[in-house]
């Protein structure tokens, strides 16, 4: 199904007298011409199951690029315990829908729950609760059972109130995150979808809270696989939509109540099932939730102090996101790399970060919190150093694959339906630049969570102010210099610079608090990793350039390059890591061998 939305803003499509309200295809039919596919706008049905960090936010309205609709991603990371499982559902639903209708509207509606949740509660739930729960588990006679019950009760009430407030304010939220060029029909449809999707705030927060309780009790499996349930529901929703309504072309006013209910309701159902899927794990770890309303025993003063600074951190980040949204939406010419391409690339980054870095942070956070609670700052520093080295060593070959295989990746994953060869080429450039941001982002996140383990939310909030200011400055400067031709890549450069600055600032401020973090060992590992990564990149480039194929690859050619190039890069990196004795890689290889030998 394709919703026709009229001419591209700024296009020079001629209008006949009295045709101001007709869409481009209508005018073309009237003139006796076939509608031009490149002038349609499309709708992506569903997306990935990306609650919490998701947190890759999507979608904003702007013109199409041959004729791809654009989305944008949230500049942030997933919370511990929620890895990046979203790409399969994103690609699967996108591919099922093909050239499907008005998907920018759905994604604008989809970003709102994540943005509002993160602004109101997301950072508090992810950064404050785990250290507090760990401390109470160690200090209380019942191992923090009653405290966790009170906390769950308060959080459920707060989440319900936040979701209700967001639903009531849906029109205001739509106007805030939508482009200033949005039509009235666009605003109405996004608002209608938002009424169904904004309750996701409740279930997203509930998933985060249950995951925190499970993590503090040493259970990590359920929070890792629960998002898969969300993905299954989202993909099923996309398939059901196509089966019931088909993929025929429709006008905006033909987005009936049934269509809206299926899209919005299916998305909401996926997040609800994800939260419900965590409940059996609570019983497995021996936690029984009974509502308790004696909230004074929670120590609300401490929670309020920690939460207030976290709120400041998130608020500053939201300013950066609003600037990002508007810059990408202003990339107003055809074939420009705007929000859709930015979001696709950011989703790839978050997939790698979610599977690798978030898994490591999830395992380290309770340990670092326990060490801080006992005053064992040397142990906290050792865990932080080990985590930094491991994250760097494991993510480096993935970053190399993203950079060297950016072209085949863009074709194999995204070039279908309305996504043209030109869009794939633009995506490969953005992915090449974004690969540089992967490791700095993971390290900056790990250092930030080290502060939260102390627990200290004030310092990260203060650090975030100059970091976001730097990011905005770089992004605005690059946008002013290159405008639409470099929009998405410029945003990624701004991200990379700010992530690196955040890591450096955090390391400088952590040392007086926890002592030496083994900077010498970290730098030695970084040097070895850099050598191995460069060697793997050269080997990958050599193999890829020797393969047949012109500038435009078929899907099979792209897939073959991915498989062969990825194998060469992985093998070369692994071999060099063994020669250079990168301990973190040898440990991972040894663990895999032990598991396979069982």
pLDDT, one tens digit per residue, over 112-170 is 555 554 544 454 555 677 778 888 888 888 888 888 888 889 888 988 998 898 888 88
Check: CB of residue 385 under 8 Å from CB of residue 518: yes
Higher per-residue confidence, 371 vs 421: 371
Q: Where are the alpha helices (DSSP H) in 169-199?
A: 170-177, 184-197
CA distance 426 to 433: 11
Burial 532-563 (b: 16+ CB within 10 A, else e): bbebbbebbbebbeeeebeeebeeebbebbbe
Query: How many percent of the chain have pLDDT more than 90?
Result: 27
C-alpha dist (Å) from residue 321 to 311, 325, 449: 15, 6, 21
The continuous run of DSSP H or E covering 276 comes out as: helix 257-284
Say if residue 491's pLDDT is above 50: yes
Higher per-residue confidence, 93 vs 449: 449
pLDDT category of residue 19 using cuts at 50, 70 and 90: very low
Check: CB of residue 384 under 8 Å from CB of residue 368: yes
The rounded mean pLDDT for the chain is: 76
* pLDDT score for 442: 93
CA distance 500 to 196: 38
Higher per-residue confidence, 124 vs 236: 236
Residue in this structure with the two tokens 């006796």, named with its chain if needed: 32
Say if residue 467's pLDDT is above 70: yes
Check: CB of residue 219 under 8 Å from CB of residue 288: no
* pLDDT score for 127: 62
Alpha carbon of residue 97 to chain centroid? 21
pLDDT category of residue 418 using cuts at 50, 70 and 90: low
CA geometry: angle at 185 spanning 181 and 189, to 5°?
110
* pLDDT score for 231: 85
Q: Average pLDDT of 97-108?
A: 45
C-alpha dist (Å) from residue 185 to 6, 174, 476, 557, 573: 11, 12, 30, 41, 52
Provide the whole-model pTM: 0.71
* pLDDT score for 47: 34
Q: Average pLDDT of 78-98?
A: 47
The tokens for 105 are: 């509207």
Full DSSP string of 113-170? HHHHHIIIIIHHHHHTHHHHHHHHHHHSTTTTHHHHHHHHHHHHHHHHHHHHHHHHTH
* pLDDT score for 51: 32
Check: CB of residue 326 under 8 Å from CB of residue 342: no
Q: Is 52 left (phi over 0), alpha (psi -120 to 50) or beta?
A: left
Rounded to 10 deg, the angle between the 170-177 and 103-117 helix axes is: 110
* pLDDT score for 595: 64
Least confident of 99-108, 201-210, 218-227: 99-108
Higher per-residue confidence, 215 vs 179: 215
CA distance 58 to 47: 9
Q: Average pLDDT of 52-72?
A: 33
Q: Under 8 Å CB-to-CB from 264, ≥6 apart: which residues?
A: 109, 192, 193, 195, 196, 197
pLDDT category of residue 247 using cuts at 50, 70 and 90: low
Check: CB of residue 46 under 8 Å from CB of residue 263: yes
pLDDT category of residue 440 using cuts at 50, 70 and 90: very high
CA distance 415 to 421: 7
Q: Under 8 Å CB-to-CB from 317, ≥6 apart: which residues?
A: 75, 76, 118, 464, 468
* pLDDT score for 174: 72
Higher per-residue confidence, 109 vs 504: 504
Q: Average pLDDT of 25-37?
A: 44
* pLDDT score for 596: 63
């Amino acid at each position: 199904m394709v919703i026709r939305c009229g001419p591209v803003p700024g296009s020079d499509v001629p209008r006949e007298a009295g045709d101001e309200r007709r869409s481009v295809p209508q005018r073309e039919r009237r003139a006796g011409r076939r509608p031009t596919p490149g002038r349609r706008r499309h709708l992506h049905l569903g997306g990935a199951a990306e609650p919490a960090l998701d947190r890759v936010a999507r979608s904003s309205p702007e013109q199409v690029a041959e004729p791809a609709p654009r989305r944008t991603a949230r500049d942030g990371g997933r919370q511990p315990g929620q890895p990046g499982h979203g790409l399969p559902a994103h690609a699967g639903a996108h591919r099922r829908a093909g050239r499907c209708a008005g998907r920018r509207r759905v994604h604008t509606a989809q970003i709102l729950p994540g943005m509002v949740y993160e602004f109101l509660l997301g950072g508090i739930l992810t950064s404050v609760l785990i250290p507090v729960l760990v401390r109470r588990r160690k200090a209380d006679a019942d191992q923090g059972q009653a405290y966790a019950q009170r906390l769950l009760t308060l959080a459920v009430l707060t989440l319900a109130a936040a979701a209700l407030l967001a639903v009531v304010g849906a029109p205001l939220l739509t106007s805030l995150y939508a482009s200033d060029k949005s039509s009235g029909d666009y605003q109405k449809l996004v608002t209608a979808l938002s009424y169904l999707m904004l309750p996701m705030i409740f279930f997203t927060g509930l998933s985060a809270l249950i995951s925190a309780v499970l993590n503090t009790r040493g259970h990590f499996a359920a929070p890792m696989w629960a998002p898969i349930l969300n993905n299954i529901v989202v993909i099923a929703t996309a398939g059901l939509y196509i089966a019931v309504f088909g993929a025929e072309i429709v006008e905006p006013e033909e987005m009936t109540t049934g269509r809206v209910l299926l899209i919005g309701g299916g998305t909401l159902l996926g997040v609800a099932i994800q939260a419900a899927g965590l409940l059996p794990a609570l019983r497995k770890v021996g936690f029984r939730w009974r509502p308790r309303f004696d909230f004074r025993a929670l120590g609300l003063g401490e929670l309020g102090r920690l939460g207030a600074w976290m709120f400041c951190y998130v608020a500053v980040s939201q300013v950066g996101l609003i600037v990002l949204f508007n810059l990408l939406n202003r990339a107003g010419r055809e074939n420009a790399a705007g929000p859709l391409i930015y979001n696709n690339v950011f989703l790839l980054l978050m997939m790698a970060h979610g599977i690798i870095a978030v898994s490591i942070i999830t395992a380290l956070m309770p340990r670092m919190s326990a060490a801080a609670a006992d005053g064992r700052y040397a142990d906290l520093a050792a865990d932080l150093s080990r985590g930094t080295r491991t994250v760097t060593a494991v993510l480096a070959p993935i970053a190399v694959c993203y950079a060297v295989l950016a072209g085949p990746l863009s074709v194999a994953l995204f070039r279908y339906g309305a996504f043209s060869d030109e869009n794939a080429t633009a995506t490969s450039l953005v992915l090449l630049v974004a690969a540089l941001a992967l490791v700095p982002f993971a390290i900056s996140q790990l250092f930030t969570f080290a502060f939260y383990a102390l627990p200290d939310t004030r310092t990260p909030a203060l650090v975030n102010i100059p970091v976001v200011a730097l990011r905005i400055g770089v992004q605005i400067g690059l946008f002013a210099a290159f405008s639409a031709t470099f929009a998405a890549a410029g945003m990624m450069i701004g991200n990379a610079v700010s992530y690196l600055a955040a890591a450096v600032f955090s390391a400088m401020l952590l040392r007086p608090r926890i002592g030496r973090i083994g900077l010498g060992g970290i730098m030695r590992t970084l040097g070895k990793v850099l050598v191995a990564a460069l060697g793997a990149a050269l080997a990958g480039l050599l193999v890829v350039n020797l393969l047949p194929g012109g500038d435009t690859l078929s899907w099979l050619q792209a897939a073959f390059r991915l498989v062969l190039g990825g194998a060469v890069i992985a093998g070369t990196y692994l071999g060099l890591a063994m020669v250079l004795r990168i301990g973190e890689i040898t440990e991972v290889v040894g663990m895999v061998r032990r598991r396979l030998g069982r």
